[in-house]
Amino acid sequence: MKVGIIYYSETGHTLAACEALADAFRVVGHTAELARITVHDVKTDRTLKAIPVAEGYDYLVLGTPVQAGSPPLPVLTYLEQIRLKPGQPVGVIITQFFPWNCLGGTRTLRLIEAAFSRTAADIKAFGIIHWSSRKRAAQLAAAIQTIVGGAAGDSR
């Protein structure tokens, strides 16, 4: 299976989570490609510089941090521009600093679900990792297991 992991990361936390996810897909025999959403400047010009192609994957994963309780503006802009086939299987991995989903993770997931519903994509699995939590490693492992399982057709 060809897996595309498209991510946005400013601090490296989301990148680390997506790299671990890509490794897990490779261990079970899938091809996993990482593609980064980039902007011209994270402080002054958050317009998209690189817009990864989302088509052509059997399974697509979006990796995003939470910023101010929502997906970052570059992620929302990217989601407005992508085109997916109806029923495209999708996974989502979210990193956030705060230790509770109610402080941005849940809202971020709902906004991403709304954006993907516009393309009729089918979110199969998701995971939220609280970067400041002592349980971060366990949360990342559980998210990876859930998302890799979603690629195999297991429901979330």
Rg of the Cα atoms in the chain: 14
According to the model, what pLDDT value does residue 120 have?
87
User: Residue 156 pLDDT more than 70?
Assistant: no
Answer whether 0.75 is exceeded by the pTM: yes
Weakest-pLDDT range from 18-22, 79-83, 142-146: 79-83
Looking at the chain, the number of H-run helices and the number of E-run strands are 4, 7
Domain ranges of the chain: 2-151
CB 62 within 8 A of CB 128: no
Q: How many CA atoms lie within 13 A of 54 on its CB side?
A: 25
**Model confidence pLDDT, tens digit, residues 92-120:** 999 999 888 888 999 999 999 999 988 88
**Fold (topology level) of 2-151:** Rossmann fold (3.40.50)
Torsion of CA 91, 34, 32, 128, to 10 degrees: -30
**Model confidence pLDDT, tens digit, residues 5-45:** 999 999 999 999 999 999 999 999 999 999 999 999 988 99
- Joined together, the tokens standing for residue 145 give 């297991």
